[in-house]
Amino acid sequence: MEYILSVVLFAISSSVTPGPNNIMIMTSGVNFGIRKSLPLLTGICVGFSVMLLLVGQGFGHLFQLFPQLSLAIKIAGTCYLLYLAGLIAGSRGVDKASQTTEPFGFIKGALFQWVNAKAWVVAIGAISAFTTVGEHYALQNMTIATTFFIISFPCVGIWLMFGSLLRRYLENRTYLRWFNLTMSLLLVISVLPVMREVWQHFTH
């Protein structure tokens, strides 16, 4: 019971805190509403759970064997997140957004986890902290992935709900513009540590 509680608390703290996933889902909630953003929410939660399973099954060891692979993913992920920040900054008003563009769907939400630096940190941290080598390893890995799957829906969903509530107050295109610019800036700030790490790799 103590083990499950520890995993649950870790899942809550890592899922509900600000990060690329939550910034993206809240922005989607503001611009497209809850219903159109549900596929993205589901993709994020399912994608990260699958990622946890694969990391637990030894995918993370590839980074030890091929250090350049980790660097390549960080560079690709950073570029993609900066691209998303640009899309968010250029989003139109609420009344126009649903007519001219569509929110990210399930597949993009799931695949996004593989270029999300925070997702990698949390996945590797969870597997390292809550598994032990032995006959119970597979069960522990499944327990962690299942816990995150269950916990992430309400934790990430809170950001979607918050975005949806803000939607009514951001029908003014000027306010929405400032909101999207702020979210874009926060997304850029969230990848600064990764950008610094990549920069240090090439300068040392």
DSSP for residue 176: H
| CB neighbours of residue 156 within 10 Å | 24
Span of 89-103, 110-124, 158-172, 184-198 with lowest mean pLDDT: 89-103
- pLDDT digit string (tens) for 64-105? 677 777 677 778 777 877 887 887 777 655 444 444 467 789
Domain locations in the chain as residue ranges: 20-203
C-beta atoms surrounding 194 within 10 Å: 20
pLDDT score of 64: 66
Over 90: is that where the pLDDT of 107 sits? yes
Residue 111, C-beta contacts closer than 8 angstroms, at least 6 positions apart: 43, 47
pLDDT digits (tens, 9 = 90+) for 85-96: 887 777 655 444
In 3D space, the residue among 180, 198, 25 whose CA is nearest the CA of residue 109 turns out to be 25
Nearest Cα residue to 162 out of 8, 25, 11, 14: 25
pTM of the predicted structure, to 2 decimals: 0.78
Q: Please, what is the average pLDDT of the chain?
A: 83
Q: What is the pLDDT of residues 175-200, one digit of tens each?
A: 778 888 887 888 788 777 778 877 88
Task: Choose between 157 and 59: higher pLDDT.
Answer: 157
List, in sequence order, the alpha helices (H) in 55-191: 61-65, 67-89, 94-100, 106-112, 117-130, 137-167, 173-190
* Of residues 29 and 69, more confidently modeled: 29
